[in-house]
Amino acid sequence: MSSTPDLPTVDREVDARGLNCPLPILRAKKALSDLTSGQVLKVVSTDPGSKRDFAAFAKQTGNALVAVEESASEWAYYLKRR
């Protein structure tokens, strides 16, 4: 995965590689509940549908999707706790 210099500092990371919808979202939801407002969660997924899912999840929950990293077969989502 490429490293981008303007990525936020991560407070917690969830590895959802190999999991299909809705498991990456469910893992993210659980992890976010353990964070305080303003903290950042990074979720790494290999599910191609996760890009659409995380955008919708962020919109529905009010947690900001602050960055997305994409490589050939992996996506990393950075969600800031509301």
| Catalytic-labelled residue, pool 19, 21, 35, 44 | 21
Active site residue 21: yes
Report d(CA 13, CA 16) in Å as an integer: 10
Q: For helices 23-33 and 50-61, give the axis angle rounded to 10 degrees.
A: 40
Sign of CA dihedral 62, 39, 46, 6: positive
Query: Measured in whole angstroms, how far is the alpha carbon of residue 78 from the centre of its chain?
Result: 5
Residues with active-site annotation: 21
